[in-house]
Chains A and B, each alone.
Chain A
Amino acid sequence: MNSYQYDWSVITNNMDVFIDGALKTLEISALALLFSIPIGIIIGLGRISRNKFLQVISTIYIELMRGIPLLVLLIWIFFVLGRFLNLGAYWSAIIGLALFSAAFIAEIVRAGVQAVPKGQMEAARSAGMTHVQAMRYVVLPQAFRKVLPPLASQFIILIKDSSLVSVVSATDLTLNAKNLVATTFRGLEIWTFVALIYLVMTLTLSLVIRTLEKRWLSREN
């Protein structure tokens, strides 16, 4: 391997391929995130609902999604659900990622809601708010502040997990890189650069969330 000659021109010459792929990865991750948040909130609240049926359904969902490898889930959705509903690679990927991530977000939401003191719900209910209003206007805003760090980790994992969508041939950064490696045989350079792009995306997200957290903390503590 001492004789390996690095040639970084493969990066500069194919910048458009990387940019294209990175934008697709961002798009898929952002959409998956957008869907996984409401699903995660609903499942998370179902988990601590007083309704036994909702509790059981939510628990089964969480355990199932957490127990199945994302790779398998993506393949199932693409080849079974996707064929049936005519979804295509792009939407299969987004739905698979969203459903998978929602299970983890649900557990984070549950922990956050349970960390809000009981007196908050009581204060809201005693003012005449319904359970749903109290959740929405009083409990959830506080729960989100409490779970911002684990939520940020989950979002970052989602971006990195999105690299798996290439197995169902959804176009993203990883698939573009794979194809480029196949034609140029410049694996080391390309994968190193790909890692760098993922790092830039996740670090940016980290920074945004940290700023948000700091702003809330400085104001309210």
Chain B
Amino acid sequence: MITMENVTKTFGDHTVLQDIQLHVPQSNVFAVIGPSGAGKSTLIRTLNALEPIDSGQITINGSDIHNPKININEARSKIGFVFQSFNLYPFLTALENVTLAPIKVKKMAQADAEKRGKELLDSLGLGDKYDAYPNKLSGGQQQRVAIARALAMDPDVMLFDEPTSALDPEMVTEVLDAIRKLAIAGMTMVVVTHEMNFAKEICDEIVFMADGKIVEVAPPEQFFSAPKSERAQAFLSKVLHH
């Protein structure tokens, strides 16, 4: 479903991604964790080519994402991306945020896009927020609108770049619940996160990164109880002990 082969990326003489190999099967949820500066955000941003790579290959549902010959816009329209800072369009209402891309990219009729948009907002507990502008919404609500916006394109995979890091603590749960529902529905997902309990609970595999490398990939129960690498042990002792 998602395959990264020998992916390498450098900024100047700093290697941000080094020889990354990863395979995410259909309907699996992978959490990417690790210390800051490990390259987690860069990694997830290369998956929809928001970030270019120097070498290697990334394939999502058969699309060779970094091949200049493919239609990247078409490929991206099937890859949902949720940002840490939401990036909602501030001049559009919640519903307009959700319907813009379906109307402009998929050429959906406005009425159909609105019907689908309302269904999505309803399912995310935002049924009374159709006409609200982003600045009138809490961080948790904004992030749920952003999830609805990504889902409105009917993506094959969903990518989350630290979706709860910019949120007040009391709003983290509502966003994680939304992601959990998607996991149960069988969505293929990669989530960069610092929420260890969430990762433990819903993810099929934990991808532990440090210094631009994938150090360890393991199922959560194994990773959290008996991490193999020293880097992961050191990381976990820091994040789990308080």
Q: Which residues of A contact B (CB under 8 A)?
A: 117, 119-120, 122-130, 133, 137-138, 141-142, 145, 216, 219-221
Q: Which residues of B contact A220 (CB under 8 A)?
A: 90-91, 133, 135
Bound-complex Cα distance A126 to B88 (A): 12
**Per-residue CB proximity of B86-107 to A under 8 Å, as 1/0?**
0111110000000011001110
Report yes or no: B77 in contact with A123, Cβ–Cβ below 8 A. no
Least distance between B77 CB and chain A CB atoms (Å): 3
Given contacts A125-B50, A125-B76, A127-B149, contact A120 B101 (CB under 8 A): no
Bound-complex Cα distance A73 to B153 (A): 51
Total A-B residue pairs with C-beta atoms closer than 8 Å?
66
Q: Which residues of A contact B88 (CB under 8 A)?
A: 123
Interface residues of A: mostly helix, strand, loop or mixed? helix
Contact of A133 among B48, B79, B104, B153 (CB under 8 A): B104
Q: Which residues of A contact B90 (CB under 8 A)?
A: 142, 220
Contact of A138 among B78, B79, B89, B150 (CB under 8 A): B89
Contact of B105 among A117, A122, A129, A142 (CB under 8 A): A129
The answer to whether the Cβ of B223 comes within 8 Å of any Cβ in the partner chain is: no
Q: Which residues of B contact A122 (CB under 8 A)?
A: 50, 83, 87
Contact of B83 among A119, A133, A137, A141 (CB under 8 A): A119
Contact of A120 among B75, B78, B87, B149 (CB under 8 A): B87
Q: Which residues of A contact B30 (CB under 8 A)?
A: none
Q: Which residues of A contact B73 (CB under 8 A)?
A: 125, 128-130
**Per-residue CB proximity of B6-46 to A under 8 Å, as 1/0?**
00000000000000000000000000000000000000000
Report yes or no: B150 in contact with A127, Cβ–Cβ below 8 A. yes
Interface residues of B: mostly helix, strand, loop or mixed? loop
Bound-complex Cα distance A137 to B78 (A): 20
Report yes or no: A127 in contact with B76, Cβ–Cβ below 8 A. yes
The answer to whether the Cβ of B74 comes within 8 Å of any Cβ in the partner chain is: yes
Report yes or no: B101 in contact with A129, Cβ–Cβ below 8 A. yes
**What are the nearest 6 A-B pairs in CB distance?**
A128-B77, A127-B101, A119-B87, A123-B87, A126-B81, A128-B105
Given contacts A128-B105, A129-B73, contact A141 B91 (CB under 8 A): yes
Q: Which residue of B lies closest to A126 (CB)?
A: B81
Q: Which residues of B contact A125 (CB under 8 A)?
A: 50, 73, 76
A-B contact pairs, 22 of them (CB 8 A): A117-B87, A123-B81, A123-B83, A123-B88, A125-B73, A126-B48, A126-B50, A126-B81, A127-B81, A127-B100, A127-B150, A128-B73, A128-B75, A128-B77, A128-B106, A129-B73, A129-B101, A129-B105, A130-B73, A142-B90, A219-B133, A220-B133
